[in-house]
Amino acid sequence: MTAPATQTTTAAALPQSRGELSHTVLQALTRPAGAALPEQLPTAEADPYGDDLQLALHLCYELHYRGFADVDSEWEWEPGLLRLRAELEHRFLTALRVDVDPRSSGEALAELLVEPVDGTGPSHFLKEHGELWHFREYAAQRSLYHLKEADPHVWVIPRLTGRAKAAMVAVEYDEFGAGRAERIHARLFADLMADLGLSTAYGRYVDAASAEMLTVVNLMSLFGLHRALRGALVGHFAAVEITSSPGSRRLAHGLERAGAGPAAVHFYAEHVEADAVHEQIVRRDVIGGLLESEPSLDADIAFGIDATEWTEARLGNHLLTAWRNGRTSLRTSL
């Protein structure tokens, strides 16, 4: 295997704005915390899944992760910015509840457990047709999630009890390398990126990422930061873990076929076995335990599963539309 990637703890630089909302947040973050924000912004008219709103949300959320270089850390809990974030979240969450049909967690899980015979998602395309440039784009987009893989799911741990809590901690322990820094899944993804000739710097590819990718990563932050959405976060985690193993197998195969290095293949090969085990624990003990203690969260778990699948499908459609037409899926060149 190639030498492990060197990961820096340096905070990311602020990205470029994509409209009035993101411009407003960016301008605020360049000033000391507490600087006045406009009283009225067009949040109610903004596309809930569009570049501008999703980047504005991303900026707000990243203050709860590693923050940004030269940005006052006090912005994380600044009341004016939290008010704006709440408006953005309301627009986003309202749209999701319209676009995702309500059902039970049992129905949502049953659908996840069946692999379509004629699968057409990005992992199928990459397995059979992916070239290295496709994989580099895929990794750059996915870095917004995988370089903080499992981080937002930690927020649910103090909101769980008993069997659900113990099982969630067990799965997260694996995600964070089981005590070995070099096996943290975010570190393994950095190794994959280095193998593909990409920068491993946290937040490096935000400007290149599509609105669809921002939506995917913002969803887990939205669920993670709100105790009221703890059921949805567990549903999100279940969707990720249950679908990971077969998709990872296809991606590992595609990387081998395309001639990628061993570190790139290893990231997905590692997830084939690990997430097959995690799937069982999440279904039986995390979801089962949560429903035992809080049966009223059944619909929220289903919503988390279905919202995850819905946003991932939008991202997949964006990627495949671009690639099948021979063009980049990114907003800026790598």
* Interval 144-155 mean pLDDT: 96
Distance CA 264, CA 257 (A): 12
* Interval 155-167 mean pLDDT: 98
- Convert the pLDDT of each residue in 241-258 to its tens digit: 998 889 999 999 999 999
- Convert the pLDDT of each residue in 82-107 to its tens digit: 999 999 999 999 999 999 999 999 99
Which are the contacts of 236, defined by CB distance < 8 A and separation ≥ 6? 153, 219, 220, 223, 304, 305, 307, 308
Domain chopping of the chain, boundaries? 20-99, 105-324
Mean pLDDT of the chain: 94
| Continuous segment of H or E residues that includes residue 159 | none
Q: Is the pLDDT of residue 263 over 70?
A: yes
265-294: string of b/e by CB count within 10 Å (b at 16+)? bbbbbebbebbbebbebbbebbbebbbeeb
Q: Which two tokens stand for residue 64?
A: 């709860």
Q: Which CATH superfamily does the domain covering 105-324 fall into?
A: Heme oxygenase-like (1.20.910.10)
Q: Which two tokens stand for residue 284?
A: 């039986």
> What is the value of pTM for the model shown?
0.94
Crossing angle for the helix pair 132-146 and 211-225, to the nearest 10 degrees = 20
